[in-house]
A and B are shown apart, each in its own frame.
Chain A
Amino acid sequence: MTVSTELELQSFVLLRLGERRFAISAKEIAELVAPSRVFRFPHRTPKLEGVILRRGRIVPVCDVSEMLLGKRLTSRRFYLIVVRNYGAHKEWVAIPVTGECELINAEMTAAVESDAPHVAGWLSHDGDVIEVLNIDTLTPGPERALAGAAGRQPPEAQS
């Protein structure tokens, strides 16, 4: 293995959602935890189920399965707690997953323009081509709300 090849290898966490596997850069993972009680309260942000309490922190739970699989998960075994960037600010977000996760080293092929916004890149592992997820576009945040608002028609002026 050459020095240049070693430099291209990165660590990823493989996660399972239903029958599919996805990857997230290991740098964006905080921890994997067993499911705990989800506290729900009224809100208007899609995909957010509520929050969990984890070591004194209140962590939002974001179910990304519908966006990635087209259906909601019926079973969940763990929460993968990822680090979501909001500019310079970082916050934890818990993503429900259906199976155990695996840490691998692999070389990522960067996403191209035609890929979905939530795809950061692709990697090949065990004969599978696996999507590397971009947490910042997969989970909700103020910038997405602003983009959504900009995309909507302005309300008609009331006379």
Chain B
Amino acid sequence: MRFAAPVKTTPAKTEQIVLFRVSGQLFAISSASVQEVRSADSMSGAATEISAPGLRKVRHVLRRGDRSLFIVNGAMHFGLHAAEGAQLFVLRKTRTALLIDGIEKMTTMSRLQALPLSFCHEERQWYRGLTALDQTVVPVVHPEGFLSPEELALLDAALLQADKPASEDPEGTSCAP
């Protein structure tokens, strides 16, 4: 039996990536997508609690001027065993700060293979594709895949709800003493 040779990809164009772990599982993200890396502890004072119905992976929000960054628990997003995230990736051009175990290392990938079409559920939003590094396969995450537009709408509504008492109570009588 003869089969066509694998499709040749365009000449190697490398991309700098960050390998990180969530609940022990290895993932990769383009380093260009990571705006900041912070320790989770350093953010604990700045984050406020938020609760959107049916969205357990987001428990906190960071306010930065008029911008809100939703802290997504990576383990809950991927359905992994709950883990205490130690670091936060603030993702560029998104409203997501991703809680992770930690950074493994920075490296380059020379080939990103599309996620096989057999994978046909939420993972298609989660991953840009897969890459083979040192004889292992690592999923490369999509920075915009952590919060869908519907989830962002839910979170915005929850945020609005949380802000309401303060704005509707100019006297400030509802504040704790």
CB contact under 8 A between A45 and B1, given known A55-B6, A56-B6, A59-B116: no
Contacting residue for A145 out of B1, B6, B121, CB 8 A: B121
Q: How distant is the Cα of A155 from the Cα of B73 in the complex, in angstroms?
A: 25
CB contact under 8 A between A140 and B132, given known A30-B3, A42-B25, A44-B123: no
**Contact indicator B78/A60 (Cβ below 8 Å):** no
CB contact under 8 A between A42 and B116, given known A53-B135, A83-B3: no
In the complex, what's the smallest C-beta–C-beta distance from A5 to chain B, in angstroms? 23
**Interface centre among A43, A51, A144, A145, by most B CB within 10 Å?**
A43
**Contact indicator A51/B137 (Cβ below 8 Å):** yes
Residue of B with least CB distance to A28: B1
**Would you list which residues of chain B between 25 and 69 have a CB under 8 Å from chain A?**
25, 27
Q: How distant is the Cα of A57 from the Cα of B116 in the complex, in angstroms?
A: 10
In the complex, what's the smallest C-beta–C-beta distance from A14 to chain B, in angstroms? 15
The verdict on A130 contacting chain B, using a C-beta distance below 8 Å, is: no
Q: How distant is the Cα of A105 from the Cα of B118 in the complex, in angstroms?
A: 29
**Contact indicator B116/A58 (Cβ below 8 Å):** yes
In the complex, what's the smallest C-beta–C-beta distance from A144 to chain B, in angstroms? 7
Residue of A with least CB distance to B132: A53
**Would you list which residues of chain A between 130 and 148 have a CB under 8 Å from chain B?**
139-142, 144-145
Query: Which chain B residues border A106 with CB–CB below 8 Å?
Result: none
Q: How distant is the Cα of A93 from the Cα of B117 in the complex, in angstroms?
A: 10
Residue of A with least CB distance to B153: A158
**Contact indicator B123/A43 (Cβ below 8 Å):** yes
Segment of A15-23, A84-92, A114-122 engaged in the interface with chain B:
A84-92
Contacting residue for A43 out of B121, B132, B136, CB 8 A: B121
Query: Which chain B residues border A29 with CB–CB below 8 Å?
Result: 1
In the complex, what's the smallest C-beta–C-beta distance from B51 to chain A, in angstroms? 16
The verdict on A26 contacting chain B, using a C-beta distance below 8 Å, is: yes
A interface footprint on B1-36 (CB within 8 Å = 1, 0 otherwise): 101001000000000000000000101000000000
**Contact indicator A51/B117 (Cβ below 8 Å):** no
Query: Which chain B residues border A142 with CB–CB below 8 Å?
Result: 117, 120
**Contact indicator A42/B78 (Cβ below 8 Å):** yes
A interface footprint on B98-124 (CB within 8 Å = 1, 0 otherwise): 000000000000000100111111110
Contacting residue for A26 out of B1, B80, B117, B119, CB 8 A: B1
**Contact indicator A60/B118 (Cβ below 8 Å):** yes
In the complex, what's the smallest C-beta–C-beta distance from B58 to chain A, in angstroms? 17
**Contact indicator A45/B117 (Cβ below 8 Å):** no
The verdict on A24 contacting chain B, using a C-beta distance below 8 Å, is: no
Told that A57-B113, A84-B118 touch, could you supply 15 new A-B pairs with CB distance under 8 A? A30-B3, A41-B25, A42-B79, A42-B139, A44-B123, A51-B130, A53-B137, A56-B6, A58-B132, A58-B137, A60-B118, A60-B119, A140-B118, A141-B117, A145-B120
Q: List 10 A-B contacts (CB under 8 A).
A: A41-B27, A42-B78, A42-B126, A42-B139, A43-B121, A57-B113, A140-B119, A141-B118, A142-B117, A145-B121
State the 10 A-B residue pairs at the shortest beta-carbon distance, nearest first: A44-B121, A42-B78, A39-B137, A43-B123, A145-B120, A60-B118, A60-B116, A41-B139, A86-B117, A44-B122
